[in-house]
Amino acid sequence: MTTTLRPSAPERRTDDGGRARPYEVCVNSRPVGRIELATSARFGPTVGRMERLEIDERDRHRGRGTVAALAAEEVLRGWGCRRVETTIPAAATTALGLAGALGYGERGRQMVKELPRVAPTLPPGCEPRAMTAADYAKWLPRERAHHVRGLVERGVPEERARAVTDADHAAKLPDGPAGEDVALRILAHHGIDVGTLWVAFGGDWEDGVDAYVLTVDVDERHRRHGHGRTLMLLAERESLAVGARTLGLHVVAGNAPALRLYESLGYRPTRYHLAKELL
């Protein structure tokens, strides 16, 4: 039996070179599932995305998904993609196993916490304050540089990384530190500034959370003293203050200290972001 991909709708193209098209997964021309392929709107046409790979229940556990995924990679190579990414729910253990067997590695994961009813207490000596305009002017260039560096390390060309970063900050911080939908805080410990926090409220976040931690940063000179945990407790306090019941975040693969911290605070993974180089 031969498993192939058959286009199920015309290809969609964008002015910046983006492409997208849905396909039927077929066995000897018989549809057994579906998949949608696209280039990344965020990272450009050299990064492909594999979306919604679904095999009909009666045809599962026969290798259809494996062959379909490999065929999808060939399509993306034909589009000029050098990397393919996909996002898989944490509960989809079979799909995660398949991705691992095909050589996909974790790029990061989404995590969510159901917030407690009572705001946590911060440790003695810890005092948060809202960023002033002067604080913001110092913080923003560092935040932008960190964001750009993270994208470049993932293989995004620097020019596009800067453009993506500028667009992200323009969308999420249109009013700077005075925005109603953000909390930009500086944490001081016994009068010395030790870290910063950026939490956003509302918005269309993954998993439908009410609030999202965008940045937790402890000054390098003050790390390994528990200030990261304090900043996360502060994020909960700020979120509860605006009525949020769920708090989400993203942790990059390989950041074991951050992952241990989030797990110890009760965050659970909801989605895994995976990637594979297309050689």
Domains of the chain by range and CATH? 3-81 (3.40.630.30), 113-274 (3.40.630.30)
Query: CB-based contacts of 249: which residues, under 8 Å, 6+ apart?
Result: 110, 111, 212, 213, 262, 267
Q: What is the pLDDT of residue 1?
A: 66
Q: Are 241 and 118 in contact (CB under 8 A)?
A: no
Cα distance between residue 48 and residue 11, in whole Å: 14
Helix axes 64-78, 93-101, angle to 10 degrees: 60
Phi first, then psi: give them for residue 100, nearest 5 degrees: -65, -40
Tokens of 211: 């609030």
| DSSP string covering 163-231 | HHHHHHHHHH-TTGGG-TTEEEEEEEETTEEEEEEEEEESS--GGG-SEEEEEEEE-GGG-SSSHHHHH
Tokens of 94: 């079979």
In single-letter form, the type of residue at position 195 comes to G
Tokens of 143: 């935040």
Q: Are 169 and 182 in contact (CB under 8 A)?
A: no
Q: CA separation (Å) from 44 to 17, 77, 118, 161?
A: 8, 14, 43, 10
User: Each residue's pLDDT tens digit in the chain (279 positions)?
Assistant: 688 999 999 999 999 899 999 999 999 999 999 999 999 988 889 999 999 899 999 999 899 999 999 999 999 999 999 999 999 999 999 999 999 999 999 999 999 999 999 999 999 999 999 999 999 999 999 999 999 998 888 778 899 899 999 999 999 999 999 888 999 999 999 999 999 999 999 878 878 899 999 999 999 999 999 999 999 999 999 999 999 999 999 999 989 999 999 999 999 999 999 999 998
Q: How far apart are the first and last CA of the chain?
A: 27
